[in-house]
Structure 1
Amino acid sequence: MTTRSLCKLLIAALLGLLAQISAPAMAQRTVKPVLHGSHWMAITGKPLAATAGALTFNRGGNAVDAACAMLAATSTMWDTLGWGGETQALIYNPHTGKVQGINALGVAPSGATVEFFRKQGMVYPPEYGPLAAVTPGTPGGLMVMLSEYGTLSLAEVLAPAMEMAKGYPIEESQADNMESRRELLAKWPGSRKVFLPHLDEKNPEQRAAPLAGEIFRQPDLLATLQKLVDAEAEALAAGKNRKQAIQAAYERFYRGDIARQLVAGSKAFGGLMTLEDLDRWQVHIEEPVSTNYKGIDVYKLTSWVQGPVMLQALNLLEPMDLKSMGYNSSRYIHTLYQVMNLAFADRDFYYGDPYVPPVEPIAGLLSKKYADQRRALINIEHNDTGIKPGDPYPFQGGKNPYVKLLKNWQANPPKAKAEGAEGFQQANLMSADEGFLAGTTSIQAADAEGWVVSVTPSGGWIPAFIPEGTGIGLSQRMQSFVLDEAINPFNVVHPGQRPRATLTPSLAMKDGKPLMAFSVQGGDTQDQNLLQFFLNMVEFKMNVQQAVEAHNILSYQMQSSFGAHQSQPGRLELTRRVSEWDRAELERMGYKVDVVERTYSPVTAIWLDQENGTIWGGASEQGDDYGIGW
């Protein structure tokens, strides 16, 4: 090596060290300010929807009321979700001192079997259209949350969304999204009516979708929401109490005329959903799972979503001195990647719907002793592309029934051939990257009484199939199932089963009191972003706005939950804030490094200042994330 080359290497190494040392100082500068409030905080993926939350607080509502209003507004704005999608939430109840989970994920309808999809020539259930739909979950989730934990009427909470359904000025990103999907949307009359109001078949060059700033009207959705409000009003007039009146609206959606419209409209285009499917489906109020990381209790929903993967990662990281590694140094990034490598491999094989057999080994997966065993597998010098799921069963006193499947498991399994087809997969409309980032918005709300809410609703994103006359865009979550138990025996499609979703709200508690509520838009990247946000706050002492704006790394070694379910072992995406020396080190360690201007990590979060009794809010500078506090 020449003297000049050696000098260059030393300078690069010094710059890398300086970057690590100065990272917390650099993080002081944020694009958006920290939000401060003492009465309430409302944060979500769209400014107008955050305003809906603020309006609801001003009506006298609590954080649950505000979260429901923001959920209704974001669904009406098609913020990567529609009304027929799915909702999952964590709620801290100050009256009981407990965190409760809301499971409002739809299930596979009647007829949705492995054999059915194989005979269609599919390797996985499709990405879009009526056959991609599980039963709608968001309306039921909203109404159950509101009736159990809110204070306002359904009419009051839906008022902002209903006003928007009458017409609101649409933003450019969604208007252009509609136009880009016009070819598919035009095939479905219900979708065409909503998304392509200017479609002129005689003039195909003319724009079909609304223009930015144009008043976007949804009369069918407005009529459906009005039916819910009318059902509530009729029940109240008949002497029913608040909860019973909201239940009457629930009944009308899932067992009344709205249900009949949804089923008829879906069946007209080959959908499988039946009235019995809607009647049997229910929202579960459930116990979340948690782990303790250095004195902080972190709560997640259980294995029907990917949330426990973050808890597994925290268990793996807890004994390590992350701060001494240096923020976003090559050693720190390598450690995060390898930890996520282990945790996501377990997710890919063991996570599924806990309400149907087989039973997921969640106790073993979240065991600290299991984490000790898995941590010993980390190669501190090089990326390990051969990591497989572990065996958590001994750590909960059981025996693994899937030893043979586990032994033969592959991150990228050979594509199975469907009956009568040469491995045909419905055309992937999303690229691999789009699949990893697909769907979801995030909602955080907190109030002075102590209610704290974190929600990650999703499903029914554009291009959504809308059954005619309803205005309700159905979910596309069916694609997250697999058809081959060799990939994941807990997530094989069956009627009445929930697909394992990527959606993952988060709450953290310290000394028995709420500390943080946080979630993020995106698909499979969610829990790796949330893990880094949490570490930014806890290990590197950033404030909440610094932590949401920090440049995360993204890894792609987990199996995608969308499209062709592919994995990309070793691929690592990061920004130029990681020094040139550290990037070179990561390449030497076996990573394929992609340098981008900004990684996708639109986190929204609330931090509860326990010392001063105030509420801090953070909303990413990416996209339209927005918060309002008072």
Structure 2
Amino acid sequence: MFTTRPEILGTFGVVTSTHWLASSSGMAMLEAGGNAFDAAVAAGFVLQVVEPHLVGPGGEVPIIFHSARSGETRVLCGQGPAPAGATIEHYRREGLTLVPGNGLLATVVPGAFDAWMQLLRDYGTLPLAKVLAPAIHYAERGHPLLPRAAATIAGLADFFAREWPTSAAFFTPGGRLPQPGALFRNEALAATWRRILREAESAGPDREAQIEKARHAFYRGFVAEEIERFARANAVMDESGGRHRGVITADDLAGWQAAYEEPLSYDYCGHRLHKTGPWGQGPVFLQTLALLKGFDLAAMDPAGPDLVHTLVEAMKLAFADREVYYGDPAFVDVPTAHLLSDTYNEDRRRLIGERACLALIPGCIPGYEAQARRVMAALERLSGTADPDAASNEPTLADMRSARRGDTVHVDAIDAAGNMVAAMPSGGWLQSSPIIPALGFMLNSRAQMFWLEPNLPASLAPGKRPRTTLTPSLAHREGKPYMVFGTPGGDQQEQWQLLFFLRHVHHGLNLQEAIDMPMAHTAHFPSSFYPRQRRPGHLALEESFAPATIEALRARGHSLERMPEWSIGRMVAAARGPDGILRAAATPRLMQAYAVGR
């Protein structure tokens, strides 16, 4: 089969991410004697610099990993919770019915820094200064600005000038737009990291003590103090059309830390898939597999209408359950065992027919009937139906129709010892809120995934994690750790990952072949992002699908959105075979992602 690039093969180590500079920086850690954890952390910090329209230091990161030393497969939750002042009552007093998609009221505790530091402390081997060096280099000395980052800044220049003066001063100094491919610097961010390093090194030569001091500087020191000062001092225009001050405080940061968790897992066709818990959308992937167990997918054309239709209809059911049942399990009783049970999915599977379903149909679980009614009534009031002919605003689509919409990045790493990491950093992008000049970064907007309606699984509450879309994946095969993979894309992340995974498992395609095949997704269910709309029956398809496939899907009742070739998704993946051969691949879409290894 033709592919755009070779599948990378090696035995020493592989790193793949959504930007070539991040992949190369991670590989440099392996070459320096580090392991996959060192590589992932270095790549993660570089992504905060080189993809500022997609991620930043004020964002979050869920990480799923396997440690060859301990034999554990675990999740590290770097998703920060809502601040203590983030109550439904406060937001309603501000005149809001939805949490805005940007601005300071959309901010939760930045979780990425602590998650990266704990991963480095507990599983990495290299000194903090060594791992941060590539990110500091690109922030201080500059990196070639991506065309899409430049386009995002240009699309927001007038808004910045009117409403977010700190962002105007940084991104468009003197009204000048940064040019694609020109060196772009963030010296303020480099200075923040250098100050953290100075404070870390004041702890003495012990590596772990330095990392602990760095965590303190961010969450109990000058970074937290500056975040509170900026949030309190500035009333910021947001997507609601009003100006609001933030409620986040230094105490919110000081009272939180990233936490290790057991993954949620499901067995499918000789593989065990590991995902985050229902504080994210990870279980959607597993629920969809449970539904698909009843179909002979291997007999279907990997790019044909039967596979696409069956997958999309199964995902509609799983995403409907996401809306009704998922939430932070520290606050909500989520019936995950029932949702993944054979009996439940046998009943649900009967709803998948030959025609596209246009309704949102959650499953009925005994004891949860009242909750289901409340959620569906709230969705009817709060989640509008988008124009079926409207263009998708998915941020990873190549035409960048919405400059205001941020997105996500991804990194995978595997070393010769068999350590594996999949991380999905996001948030704190340049569209989310004004840059904090003293720190050189923006805060996140993840709180927009809460509802301002009481007694729902995803209702806003202080200390609660938003139901994030961020969802890295790790798979065992025949009992051994095998593959890490993921893609940016908001609500589309699970959809593109499933297409990739099913084609790899059922049709024998290698990583690059599975990534290069035509992609599809649906916006049938309510979006996780402001203004939370849904498009019943929607199906987006790359035009690289055969015309006969496209017409067959139209005939089944799908409301088609035809997208240009090579425009959907940013999949990357890495795997380790039983012979020790390492493999890695990255999508050619958007011309940024690269896999490296040897």
Percent of aligned pairs sharing the same letter: 34
Secondary structure of the corresponding residue to residue 181 of structure 1: helix
Asked whether the equivalents of residues 181 and 462 of structure 1 are also in contact (C-alpha less than 8 Å), the reply is no
- Indicate the residue corresponding to 1:8 in structure 2: none
Contact 1:388 1:409 in 2 (8 A): no
Distance 1:130 1:317 in 2: 41
- Partner residue in 2 for 1:29: 2
Alignment partners' CA distance in 2, 1:135 and 1:580: 47
Residue 170 (structure 1) aligned to one of 140, 145, 158: 145
Alignment counterpart, residue 438 of structure 2, candidates 462, 469, 479: 469
Q: Aligned to 2:481, which of 514, 517, 539?
A: 514
Please state if 1:433 is matched with 2:409. Answer: no
**Deviation (angstroms), 1:107:** 1.4
Conservation of the 8 A alpha-carbon contact between 1:79 and 1:441: no
Letter of the 2:393 counterpart: D
Residue 411 of structure 1 and its aligned partner are, at CA, apart by: 9.3
1:273 aligns with 2:248: yes
Structure 1 residues without counterparts, runs of 5 or longer: 1-27, 200-207, 417-422, 424-429
1:322 aligns with 2:314: no
Of the structure 1 ranges 578-587 and 335-344, higher mean CA displacement relative to structure 2 is found in 578-587
8 Å Cα contact 1:297/1:509 also seen in 2: yes
Q: Which residue is equivalent to 1:96?
A: 70
2:279 alignment counterpart: 304
Relative to the length of structure 2, the TM-score reads 0.91
Q: Does 1:219 align with 2:219?
A: no
Residue 39 (structure 2) aligns with: 66
* Residue of 444, 453, 467 corresponding to 1:484: 453
Q: Deviations over 1:484-519 (max 9, x none)?
A: 258xx1111111111111111000001322211100
CA displacement at 1:408 relative to structure 2: 7.1
Map 1:47-126 onto structure 2 (within 5 A). Answer: 47-77=20-50, 78=52, 80-126=54-100
Does the aligned pair in 2 maintain the 1:389–1:406 contact within 8 Å? Answer: no
Q: Secondary structure at the match of 1:409?
A: helix
Aligned equivalents of 1:345, 1:191: Cα separation in 2:
38
Aligned with 2:170 (options 191, 194, 199): 194
Is the alpha carbon distance of 1:167 and 1:176 closer, same or farther for their aligned partners in structure 2, counting shifts above 3 Å?
A: farther
Q: Out of 521, 540, 543, which is 2:510 matched to?
A: 543
Is residue 572 from structure 1 mapped to residue 539 from structure 2 by the alignment?
yes
In structure 2, the CA distance between the partners of 1:67 and 1:316, relative to structure 1 (3 Å rule), is same
Larger displacement relative to structure 2 (550-559 or 529-538): 550-559
Contact 2:396–2:489 (CA<8 Å) still a contact in 1? yes
3-state SS, counterpart of residue 202 of structure 2: helix
The match for 1:130 is 104
Taking structure 1 as the reference length, the TM-score comes to 0.87
What is the CA RMSD across the aligned residues, in angstroms?
2.0
SS at match of 1:292: strand
Matches within 5 A, 1:375-390: 375-378=349-352, 380-390=353-363
2:326 counterpart (341, 348, 351) = 351
Q: Do 1:435 and 1:561's aligned partners in 2 also have CA atoms closer than 8 Å?
A: no
2:211 pairs with 230, 233, 246, which one? 246
Partners of 1:334 and 1:527 lie apart in 2 by 16
Match of 1:604 among 572, 594, 598: 572
Provide, for residues 502-559 of structure 1, a one-character-per-residue CA deviation record: whole Å limited to 9, x for no partner: 1110000013222111000111000010011000100011010011111122111121
**What is the distance in 1 between the residues matched to 2:170 and 2:126?**
30
Q: How far off its partner does 1:101 sit? A: 0.4
Secondary structure of the residue that 1:482 maps to in structure 2?
Answer: coil
Amino acid at match of 2:186: Q
Per-residue deviation, 1:79:
5.2
Residues 575, 597 of structure 1: 8 Å contact kept: yes
* Cα deviations by residue, 1:320-363 (Å, 9 ceiling, x for unpaired): 111223223222222111100110100112111122x2222222
Counterpart contact for 1:220–1:471, Cα < 8 Å: yes
**C-alpha spacing 1:478/1:468, structure 2 compared with 1 (3 Å):** same
Q: Flag as ranges the 4+ runs of structure 1 deviating above 4 A.
A: 435-438
Residues 491 and 335 of structure 1: CA distance in aligned 2, closer, same or farther (over 3 Å):
same
What is the alpha-carbon distance in structure 2 between the residues aligned to residue 596 and residue 572 of structure 1?
10
Secondary structure (helix, strand or coil) at the match of 2:495 reads helix
Pairing 1:387-426 to 2, within 5 Å after superposition? 387-392=360-365, 394=366, 399-400=367-368, 402-403=369-370, 405-406=372-373, 409=376, 413-415=380-382
Counterpart residue type for residue 54 of structure 2: T
> Structure 2: how far apart are the matches of 1:286 and 1:236?
31
Q: Once the two structures are superposed, what CA deviation does each residue of 1:124-164 show, in whole Å capped at 9, x if it has no partner?
A: 11111211111111111110111111111111110000111
Match of 1:586 in 2: 553
Paired amino acid for 1:477: R
Shift of residue 190, structure 1, vs aligned partner: 3.5
What's 1:419 paired with? none
In the alignment, residue 140 of structure 2 is paired with which amino acid? K
Task: Tell me by how many angstroms 1:431 deviates.
Answer: 7.3
SS in 1 for 2:393: helix
Q: 2:119 corresponds to which residue?
A: 145
2:308 maps to which of 301, 308, 333: 333
How many Å separate the matches in 1 of 2:454 and 2:338?
A: 21
Structure 1 residues 608 and 144, CA, compared in 2 at 3 Å: closer, same or farther? same
Q: C-alpha separation between the residues in 1 aligned to 2:542 and 2:164?
A: 41
Deviates more, 1:30-39 or 1:382-391: 382-391
Letter in 2 for 1:123: T
* Unpaired segments ≥5 residues, structure 2: 235-244, 385-389, 398-405
Letter of the 2:306 partner, please give it. Answer: R
Report how far residue 175 of structure 1 moved.
2.0
Structure 1 residues 448-459: aligned runs within 5 Å: 448-459=416-427
Greater Cα radius of gyration, structure 1 or 2: 1
Please give the alpha-carbon distance, in whole angstroms, between the structure 2 residues aligned to 1:209 and 1:411.
Answer: 42
| CA 1:29–1:626: 2 relative to 1, 3 Å | same
> 1:525 is paired with a residue of what secondary structure?
helix
Change over 3 Å in CA distance of 1:572–1:309 after alignment to 2: same
Structure 1 residue 376, shift from structure 2 partner = 2.1
Alpha carbons 1:45, 1:79 under 8 Å: kept: no
Aligned-partner SS, 1:320: coil
Query: Equivalent residue of 2:203, what SS?
Result: helix
Partner-residue secondary structure (3-state), 1:539: helix
The number of residues matched between the two structures is 569
1:259 corresponds to which of 200, 203, 224: 224
Cα deviation 1:8-65 (Å, max 9, x = unaligned): xxxxxxxxxxxxxxxxxxxx11111211121011111111111211221122110010
Q: Which whole-Å CA distance do the structure 2 matches of 1:337 and 1:457 have between them?
A: 26
In structure 1, C-alpha distance between the alignment counterparts of 2:39 and 2:134, rounded to whole Å: 11
Q: Is contact 1:436-1:524 (8 Å) kept?
A: no
How far is the alpha carbon of 1:220 from its aligned partner? 1.4
